[in-house]
Structure 1
Amino acid sequence: MNSSAKTVFSSASHPQNYEVLREDHEISVLGAPSSQGTVSSTVINIRSDTAVPDHVVWSLFNTLFFNWCCLGFVAYAYSVKSRDRKMVGDVVGAQAYASTAKCLNICALVTSILLFVATTVIVVLNIAAIAQAIPH
């Protein structure tokens, strides 16, 4: 160490050098434990209980009742894949498949409800037109 670094640690009234300061703040390194007994360790496995909904029941319902363009069946397939990924422990894969199944279920449900409403409106309008065409 050069002499200019030593002057940083010295004061005008009480001169100290680097070695004295180093001895004042010396750290002792602890060694291994003195006992020769066995060292035991505890391993704690923390499972993340992230609940990943797989939407199987909703997909099965859409497959049986609102299966427009096979969206319900495809949603059911993704739901089963999500459940399989969840059983294996792949939470990210399960969430990806569950998200796709949810989107497909929403599309199947909305499309089926719109088709049901449109069919009902068309039938009611046709019945009204036929009722007006029949002479009283």
Structure 2
Amino acid sequence: MNHTSQAFLTPTNGGQPPNYERIKEEYEVAELGGSHGSTSVRTTVINMPREVAVPDHVVWSLFNTLFLNFCCLGFIAYAYSVKSRDRKMVGDVTGAQAYASTAKCLNISALVLSILMVVITIIAVVSIMVSAGRLYI
């Protein structure tokens, strides 16, 4: 293999185009398997990335928007879920994962805060009813 560098900006070989064979020689393909008798078998392995399933949480966000919309967190989560689905359709897996992660955090926040508010309301109503019942007895 010849590892000499070649200048592409100034023609040193009489105005002819550069010889690309030298560059091609620098890259080698890893061969798998040994030789079988007089014939050698060459195998090339190409690693293809699997299609990554990115959950977009649209159904969960829609549920939170309709039923547990504490401080509009469900609606904001729905917006991020739709953006995640759009990024996934375009093929931007990293962007889709970022939007899906934000939508998941917003959905969890909306769910926890809404359940907490329901529990606090039930406790407040029960305590008011108990205290009002004691006054009239």
- Flag whether TM exceeds 0.5 (same fold): yes
Count of residues in Structure 1 that have an aligned counterpart in Structure 2: 92
The whole-number CA distance in structure 2 between the counterparts of 1:105 and 1:69 is: 12
- Aligned partners of 2:99 and 2:85: how far apart in 1? 9
Paired residue for 1:122, among 79, 102, 124?
124
Structure 1 residue runs of 4+, over 4 Å off? none
Q: For 1:33-72, what per-residue CA distance to the aligned partner results, in whole angstroms no more than 9, with x for missing partners?
A: xxxxxxxxxxx89452211000000000000000011000
1:128 CA displacement:
0.4
Q: Distance in 1 between matches of 2:58 and 2:87?
A: 13
- Larger helix proportion, structure 1 or 2? 1
- Which amino acid is 2:121 matched to? T
| Partner in structure 1 of residue 90 of structure 2 | 88
Return the TM-score normalized by structure 2.
Answer: 0.64
Unpaired runs of 5+ residues, structure 2, are: 1-45
1:69 aligns with 2:71: yes
Task: State how far apart, in whole Å, the 2-side matches of 1:119 and 1:81 are.
Answer: 34
Name the residue aligned to 1:7.
none
Match of 1:60 among 59, 62, 66: 62
Which deviates further from its counterpart, 76-85 or 44-53?
Answer: 44-53
Q: Relative to 1, partners in 2 of residues 1:80 and 1:45: Cα closer, same or farther, differing over 3 Å?
A: farther
Q: Distance in 1 between matches of 2:110 and 2:50?
A: 32
Unaligned runs of 5+ residues in structure 1 are 1-43
> CA offsets per residue over residues 2-29 of structure 1, 9 Å max, x none?
xxxxxxxxxxxxxxxxxxxxxxxxxxxx
Query: 1:99 aligns to what?
Result: 101
- Percent identity of the aligned residues? 70
Highest Rg: 1 or 2?
1
Q: Equivalents in 1 of 2:70, 2:61: separation in Å?
A: 12
1:96-123, Cα deviation, whole Å (9 max, x unpaired): 0000000000000000000000000000
Structure 2 residue corresponding to 1:49, chosen from 31, 48, 51 = 51
Q: TM-score, normalised by structure 1?
A: 0.65
Partner secondary structure for residue 114 of structure 1: helix
